[in-house]
Amino acid sequence: MRPKELGTLFLTFSKVGVMTFGGGYAMLPILQREVVESKGWATEEELTDYYAVGQCTPGIIAVNTATFVGQKLAGVAGGIVATLGVVFPSLVIITVIAALLSNFAEVAAVQHAFAGIRVCVCVLIINAVVKLWKKTVVDLPTLLIFLAVLALSLFTSLSPVIYVLCSAAAGVLIKNLGARK
Amino acid sequence: MIYLQLFWEFFKTGLFAIGGGMATIPFLREIGTRTGWFTEAALANMLAVAESTPGPMGINMATYVGYTCAGIPGGLVATLGEITPSIIVILIIAAFLQAFRKNKYVEQVFYGMRPASTALIAAAGIGVLQICMLRSDARWPGNALWELVDLKSLLLLAVVWVLTNVVKQTKGWHPLAFIVFSAVVGIVFQF
């Protein structure tokens, strides 16, 4: 891939980074918009794959997802460039705040603004989940997996790794048992 | 050599914390108590800032903790240390997936994993929803049911939902527009 395209990759992921308010999940609606809808670099299904793998592998989910998309587009260099892109805004913003405004989080206006933003992020995540749902819950077995994992993660505190691994096993089992009939 | 040591500590955090930014917190706490670079109270303050600034929370945390330990180069080195294991592991998995994308078993694995992944994201959304909507100062059955819910937040939730799903003119807007709108509403109406 040419330097210009790597530049686009870096800038796009910097944009994603700066518009993410919260954890890796808050990044999902922004990724859908910038990477799936605007650029067409990945599909909704691929994003869910990346999140699933990102849950069970080391590190921050936002970083894992950026590396995945970058690698798909431009190999090893792409993976590294996209990841540096998503990290870049944090480096600048946090350094400035740490140096100049260490009581930033206590400012009343910041607290009010973020209380509002959290509500908005909820709606954006719900909308993102509805989009993913249409692509990933495609039949009865996938509906059962969705409901089981949702209920278990709401009412128990087991690691997500277990759910992802069990669902992967269930996928293979269901498909092979179904084929034998 | 503090930078080398910092890189190594965050490399370990990035390697062993599985499941996202929140999973790194216990590791960061352990670094603080073992090295004396920062206190537990400082860590709590850093978490508050990391959650109220743009950027994924886990990366914000790494930069802030690194900065606290060793200034601007510290923030840079800590962040690079934390993301290096992810990059290596994901690059290997991604290369493997590219080679085996069309494999029957890989397809079956993803067939099962996708609805689980969607459910985990939904559960995370519901978690944030609880924090926003339920008032921390009200309890059931002590208070009436409608007193448990933060009405201002509920109203904003409804407005943003309608704007992003129903109103034709605003449905296609960039998510950032709604984030800015909600921040302004939060400040004006004292959320």
Residues A90 and A41 in one domain: yes
- Give the model confidence (pLDDT) of A35-80 as tens digits: 999 999 999 999 999 988 888 888 888 899 999 999 999 999 999 9
Residues A128 and A159 in one domain: no
Which pLDDT score, from 0 to 100, does residue B9 have? 93
Contacts of B55 in chain A (CB under 8 A): 17-18, 20, 89-90, 93-94
DSSP A39: S
d(CA A54, CA A61): 5
Which pLDDT score, from 0 to 100, does residue A179 have? 64
Low pLDDT (below 70) residues in chain B: none
Q: At which of A101, A118, A135 does a domain end? A: A135
Contacts of B85 in chain A (CB under 8 A): 58-59
Which pLDDT score, from 0 to 100, does residue A76 have? 94
Which pLDDT score, from 0 to 100, does residue B115 have? 92
Best B12, B60, B118 residue to mutate vs chain A (most A CBs within 10 Å) = B118
d(CA B20, CA B190): 31
Residue A41: domain span: 3-135
Residues A20 and A58 in one domain: yes
Residue A180: pLDDT over 70: no
Residues A120 and A160 in one domain: no
Q: What is the ipTM of this complex?
A: 0.86
- Give the model confidence (pLDDT) of B116-163 as tens digits: 989 988 988 888 888 888 877 777 777 777 778 888 899 999 999 999
Which pLDDT score, from 0 to 100, does residue A26 have? 86
Residues A124 and A98 in one domain: yes
Q: At which of A114, A135, A156 does a domain end? A: A135
Closest residue to A136, CB basis, from B86, B115, B156: B115
Residues A58 and A43 in one domain: yes
Q: What is the average pLDDT across A97-124?
A: 86
C-alpha distances in angstroms, A37 versus A44, A54, B94?
A: 9, 21, 22
Q: Rounded mean pLDDT of chain A?
A: 89
Into how many domains does chain A fold? Answer: 2
CA Rg, chain B, in Å? 21
- Closest Cα in chain A to B77: A91
Residues A98 and A36 in one domain: yes
Residues, chain B, total? 191
Chain-centre distance for alpha carbon B167: 29
Amino acid identity for residue B110 in this structure: F
* Contact across the interface for A94 and B82, Cβ inside 8 Å: no
Residues A149 and A121 in one domain: no
Residues A154 and A168 in one domain: yes
What tokens appear for A56 in the block? Answer: 């069970």
Q: Where are the alpha helices (DSSP H) in B101-143?
A: 104-133
Burial of B169 (0-12, 13-18, 19+ CB in 10 A): exposed
Residues A89 and A162 in one domain: no
d(CA B24, CA A153): 19
Residues A66 and A80 in one domain: yes
- Closest Cα in chain A to B109: A168
* Contact across the interface for B63 and A21, Cβ inside 8 Å: no
Counting other chains too, the contacts that A75-78 makes at CB distance below 8 Å and 24 or more residues apart are A75/A1, A76/B91, A77/A1, A77/A6, A78/A1, A78/A6, A78/A9
Q: How many beta-carbon pairs under 8 angstroms link A with B? A: 362
Residues A88 and A144 in one domain: no
Phi, then psi, of B39 in degrees rounded to 5? -90, 170
State what percent of residues in chain A have pLDDT above 70: 98
* Contact across the interface for B87 and A67, Cβ inside 8 Å: yes
d(CA A20, CA A35): 14
- Closest Cα in chain B to A143: B115
* Tally of CB atoms within 10 A around B1: 6
* Contact across the interface for B55 and A17, Cβ inside 8 Å: yes
User: What is the secondary structure of A115-161 as a DSSP string?
Assistant: HHHHHHHHHHHHHHHHHHHHHH--SHHHHHHHHHHHHHHHH----HH
